Chains A and B, each alone.
Chain A
Amino acid sequence: MINRKIARRYAKALMNIGQADGNYDTYWEQLDAFTSLFQREEQLSTVLSNPTFNVAQRQAIIKEIGKRLRLSPITINFLHLLVDKNRMRYLPDITTLYRELVDEAAGRARVHVVTAHDLSKKKLEELTQGLQGLVEKQVIMEIETDPALIGGVVTRIGGMVYDGSVKTQLERLRETLAKG
């Protein structure tokens, strides 16, 4: 809870800058790229989160990675700030919350879709349109396949879950039969 509060403060700060210069989407892409690397490379996350390493050294590492990832000076400075304030361990949370702020500002909704089988392009398009109509926003589909659903679709938009899977229907059937 406290982690989220701290992360939200940093995400909002970056969002304010992004909204002021209109580059919040760019910062999101860059932050996402750096966070993916940070989460993937255990050594990198250990070094950057460890306060026993010199701040200047850690900032130099960020600068070097920033050059290779072609990060903007604002993004690099933001990451430097996190090192300086010893908040690097909150980076994944900050990125998630920043993404939510960016989506909100851009009028987008991120939808997590789970299907039992891969959807055809046509069906995916129809589903996207249906969901866009539901949330009245542009939707970004995050698609996952889970054969355990047996059939149907489950979507999660924010805190709402729309469950149309065969697995859930069978579970409801079992509950109804068990009640008699």
Chain B
Amino acid sequence: MGMWWELAFKIFNFAVFVALIYVFVKKPLRSFLKKRQESIKQALEEAERAKQEGEKAFHEYETKVQKLDQEIERIRQQLIKEGEWEKERIIQEARQMAEKIKKQAMLSAQQELKTVKARLQEQMAAMTVQLAEDLLKKHLRPQDHERLVDEYIERVRRVRGVQ
């Protein structure tokens, strides 16, 4: 019998203990659980938001990467085009320079030719005159001298006539 009372007492004690715990713990526990629930909910929402943002960012970067390929292709094409232009410009400049050098060389050659021609002509003239002088000195006779003086006198008379 005593054993039953003891058991009942323990059960009663346990029931009181549970009732007391229930009374005292119910409110804070509920509040805690509510808070916890909200916090989890918030965390889930944030995770969802972060996931969405991540996906968005992923999409953006994916687009960007796609565009980057296009941009790289555009720049490559631009560089090729500029390279072509530059090549064309250098060739054009080289052609102009070559033309200029050619023209300059031609002018120099012409000038040189002119100078040489003039020098040759001068030398030829000097030699011809020297030859003529030598011949005259050798072959002029007294009567030729007289004739030269006569011609001079005639010229003097003509000058007088003009005056």
Contact = CB atoms under 8 A, between A and B. Distances in A.
Contacts of B125: 173-178
Contacts of B132: 170, 173
At the interface, is chain B mostly helix, strand, loop or mixed?
helix
Residue with the greatest number of chain B CB neighbours at <10 A, chosen from A153, A175, A178: A178
B163 A134 contact: yes
Interface string B113-151: 000001001101110110011001100101011101111
Contacts of B163: 134
B157 A130 contact: yes
A59 interface: no
A180 interface: yes
Interface residues of B, number: 29
Contact of B140 (A131, A150, A178): A150
A150 B136 contact: yes
B9 interface: no
Residue of B118, B122, B153, B156 most packed against chain A (CB within 10 A): B156
Interface of A: 115-117, 119-120, 123, 126-127, 130-131, 133-134, 150-153, 155, 162, 164, 166, 170-171, 173-180
**Chain A to chain B: the 10 pairs with minimum beta-carbon distance, closest first:** A177-B125, A164-B152, A178-B125, A174-B129, A130-B156, A130-B153, A153-B152, A178-B122, A152-B148, A151-B148
